[in-house]
Structure 1
């Protein structure tokens, strides 16, 4: 059996008097008032020093002018030496297309070009040959005219002989046989004269035809050389196009960046203009900060901007400048814009995208990616900003 300890009486505080309670309440209210006053003074000081000269938003996202890779010819895919998330530099081969068809087209275009050049040289040579034919036709005209002179002389002689025989035949001095012979000679001379005249006409027509052919041939080569002839130039253009198509079988990176959304596989036949991948230039990123319309009163191009990324937290601060304000709000260019003409609508504060460029050195030190969230704050007191008039 243990020894029980005697119970000690618990001291009881005497109740406070009413004056003490009122004093405690006054002190508590004074403390609360002091805290509220300090908060108000602090907010007022912050607004005067920072709030009135800065606007901020957490509705900001990283963007970039990405390069969409599309083949310019239709061909099967021979190789794809890159993959998603791979960094590439400008000029790297992204896709290699099968060049069997383009090589054949290039050989055909080169053969057509050579044929066009030879055809032009042949046309030039033909002009010389036609000039010789014109000279020959002129000589034929001279010969035909000489034959016409001879035929005319023979005709005149035969006519005189026939008239003389006819006069003598009336007195019986010429036999009938001699008269018949003179008549036949006159008829033959007349026929030869007609034939000589026809020969002159034919020679003149042949000369005109030769001159026409010469003029037509010279018109094909007039003012042209073997390199400036239209037919040769057209063949050269087809050759250049074939060479360009041959070069386009190798699709190269147009910018430095990261391969994204690769949509092509080996063996696939791609069509011209069909997107196969996207290159994101991560060294040339920008930020689109969506500010409320009431915050944009004093925002100007050129003002300094400080930004914080959710990726790195507040320990990494980016610096940039305002480079432009969008031409309209996001709602204005939405696929289904708001219809506010009905009358039963609720006014919603609109946001306008503000483009902010980033410091390239800071981007290299702390890389970002398209679509990441950012907090942006614009310094409205920046003296280096550009006015709208500029």
Structure 2
């Protein structure tokens, strides 16, 4: 049986299906728009944001040849751990030389003290001789009237007196010069000894620094030093990255920063974890200038071909330590960062940044001079006796 084609019914069914599809699309669009409006309203976001951290570069502080390497890239080291050892031959020679110079200085001062006493006694002896000649001259003058003493004897006595007086003045001047070097100071605190002590402390410090220690705890990166390398002060060795002290540097367009304030909440998604992990943080502060002003070659817009380009301002955002511990990050990773603008926050120029963490200070160098004062007293005592 032949089926009857009804064009109006076909058109009506097609229009009905099209309406259903259109209704589904509109509903989906409205739902997505409602979700976006609910989830993103009051937020400002950027994908020009990266994880940042401290990169503590260690350099050689003294001259020497590398004899041992105790740390490798990716390895965790603790504050105070020895990372690189140098042979310390030059530092050891310099230390022995400084000890010898201190001992020689002490002996020179002892000799100078004895010289002052010798000159004083010499001046007294010459003063006694001068008194005797003066007595002789007085007797010669008394006997000259009777003709018992010649004029030549009188002249010789007077010349001898002048000679002794000049010699006494010379001896006293030499004594004064020696006393001026001593200045009534003891040997232990004499300026020359203090100078020698400083040289010994410096040599002792160089000798102690043949062992390069970690100033903070962290992970080793960028190791450049090798066994047998001859190092000079300032030679780069390796870097330490404390992964517990990380933050986000997010670069927002200048059209986005009007509502950003320190203290506002932030959410961070890291590309390495996809969208499964969300980090939370707080705005610490805004950079005092855009990136172009701190570039190696700042832009000069005083030209005829100026094109307006929106600048970016760097915003520093802290990360929650507990979240970092659960999902570790490394400096340099890319992120998608957004900031909640509904919160009032602090004034725009305020800063919540602080320097209280371990990465801003270390005490591993405070004990480098331990033992040097005992060595100094030992050297002085050995050369005094």
TM-score (structure 2 length as normaliser): 0.82
Maintained 8 Å contact 1:154/1:189: no
C-alpha displacement of 1:351: 1.2
For 2:5 and 2:113, how far apart are their aligned partners in 1? 132
1:297-376 pair list within 5 angstroms: 297-376=258-337
For 1:73 and 1:84, how far apart are their aligned partners in 2? 23
Runs of at least 4 residues of structure 1 off by over 6 A? none
For 1:389 and 1:289, how far apart are their aligned partners in 2? 17
For 1:21 and 1:315, how far apart are their aligned partners in 2? 44
For 1:386 and 1:330, how far apart are their aligned partners in 2? 22
Residue 127, structure 1, aligned to residue 119, structure 2: no
Residue 66, structure 1, aligned to residue 55, structure 2: yes
Maintained 8 Å contact 1:303/1:386: no
Q: Equivalent residue of 2:157, what SS?
A: helix
Deviations 1:53-94 (A, max 9, x none): x21112111111211111022221111121111111111111
Distance 1:96 1:15, change over 3 A: same
User: Which has the greater radius of gyration?
Assistant: 1
Distance 1:12 1:260, change over 3 A: farther
Residue 289, structure 1, aligned to residue 250, structure 2: yes
What corresponds to 1:231 in structure 2?
192
Q: Equivalent residue of 1:157, what SS?
A: coil
C-alpha displacement of 1:256: 1.2
Residue 16, structure 1, aligned to residue 8, structure 2: yes
Q: Equivalent residue of 1:276, what SS?
A: strand
What corresponds to 2:77 in structure 1?
88
Q: Which moved more, 1:363-372 or 1:122-131?
A: 122-131
1:1-150 pair list within 5 angstroms: 9=1, 11-16=3-8, 20=12, 24=16, 27=19, 31=23, 35=27, 38=30, 42=34, 45-46=37-38, 50-52=40-42, 54-150=43-139
Maintained 8 Å contact 1:322/1:356: yes
Listed as ranges, the gaps of 5+ residues in structure 1 are: 1-8, 159-184
Count of residue pairs the alignment pairs up: 351
Distance 1:34 1:99, change over 3 A: closer
For 1:148 and 1:236, how far apart are their aligned partners in 2? 55
For 2:153 and 2:121, how far apart are their aligned partners in 1? 29
Maintained 8 Å contact 2:53/2:247: yes
C-alpha displacement of 1:330: 2.2
Considering only aligned residues, what root-mean-square deviation do their CA atoms show, in Å? 2.8
C-alpha displacement of 1:23: 7.4
Listed as ranges, the gaps of 5+ residues in structure 2 are: 352-385
Deviations 1:187-220 (A, max 9, x none): x521111111111111211221121112111111
For 1:363 and 1:69, how far apart are their aligned partners in 2? 25
Q: Which moved more, 1:36-45 or 1:257-266?
A: 36-45
